[in-house]
Amino acid sequence: MRIVLVGPPGAGKGTQATRLAEQLRVPHISTGDLFRANISRQTELGKLAKSYMDAGNLVPDEVTIAMAKDRMEQPDAEGGFLLDGFPRNVSQAEALDELLTTEGMKLDAVLDLEAPEEEVVKRIAGRRICRNDSAHVFHETYKQPAKAGVCDVCGGELYQRDDDSEDTVRKRLEVYHTQTEPIIDYYKAQGLVVTISALGPVDEVTKRALEALKREDDGR
């Protein structure tokens, strides 16, 4: 399956993407994680991306699209993928359509995770991620690690993301509403959008997502 996951910052896209990718046996491709890996390796791309991310802005399309394309062309993504954080505006969505059309492929669904602003703010404020791998995500209240400050998966140090400060989160939410939400209408016009609530325990949200994707698949 080829799926795009969309939703405001803190809705739980990364959390759900890890679980859904495992169930659906496709790679989880997160442009945010790819940027963070470049930042920790101190690459030129990482240095460029950091300045935009820390301000809560989108990294320019040119570098983002090239990075996403490169990842989608890896052999493990041949049979499908779950995109988390890409596309994030209409021009990225058009670039993805173009890429898929060239390869004779198409998207199966766009899963839209809905969560009210007060909930995403709480989720982001308590989020802690692993220094070794930003896909290892915890929460001070909702998902505490066995040992405070230590990643359960690999033993790495847990820290708060630089872009999770209150001001930057406000900016990221504004960018989501103005630049990312329009892709929902773009994909609605293609009949691809499946909307679910991201509220409730993580397991329940995963179950809801899998059921919604199955209904979508059966309906085709």
Q: Which residues are annotated as a binding site for ATP?
A: 10-15, 127, 137-138, 200
Closest separation in Å from C-beta 201 to ligand AP5: 6
Cβ proximity to ligand AP5: between 44 and 218 the closer is 44
* Identified binder of ligand AP5 from the candidate list 2, 13, 28, 136, rule CB under 6 A: 13
CA neighbor of 198 nearest in space, from 2, 8, 1: 8
Cβ proximity to ligand AP5: between 27 and 56 the closer is 56
Cβ proximity to ligand AP5: between 85 and 213 the closer is 85
- 87 preceded by a cis bond (ω within 30 of 0): yes
Query: How many CB atoms are closer than 10 A to CB 132?
Result: 14
In angstroms, the CA 206 to CA 98 distance is 30
Q: Is there a catalytic annotation at residue 128?
A: no
Tell me 156's DSSP state: P
In angstroms, the CA 46 to CA 214 distance is 37
Closest separation in Å from C-beta 204 to ligand AP5: 8
Selected catalytic residue, list 13, 19, 50, 128: 13
Contact window for ligand AP5 (CB under 6 A) among 27-35, 95-103, 184-192, 212-220: 27-35
3-state SS, one letter per residue, for 39-103: HHCCCHHHHHHHHHHHCCCCCCHHHHHHHHHHHHCCHHHCCCEEEECCCCCHHHHHHHHHHHHHC
Say whether residue 48 binds ligand AP5 (CB under 6 A).
no
Strands 127-130 and 137-139: antiparallel
Selected catalytic residue, list 2, 88, 123, 128: 88
Go through 34-71 and write b for each residue having 16 or more CB atoms within 10 A of its CB, e for each that does not. Answer: bbbbbbeeeeebbebbbebbeebbbbeeebbbebbeeb
Q: Is there a catalytic annotation at residue 2?
A: no
One character per residue 125-164, x = contact with ligand AP5 (rule: CB under 6 A): -xx---------xxx--xx-------------------x-
* Identified binder of ligand AP5 from the candidate list 172, 187, 193, 209, rule CB under 6 A: 172
Query: How many CB atoms are closer than 10 A to CB 25?
Result: 9
Residues at the contact surface with ligand AP5, assessed by CB under 6 A = 7, 9-15, 31-32, 35, 52-53, 56-59, 64, 85-86, 88, 92, 123-124, 126-127, 137-139, 142-143, 163, 172, 201-202, 205
What are the catalytic residues?
Answer: 13, 88, 127, 161, 172
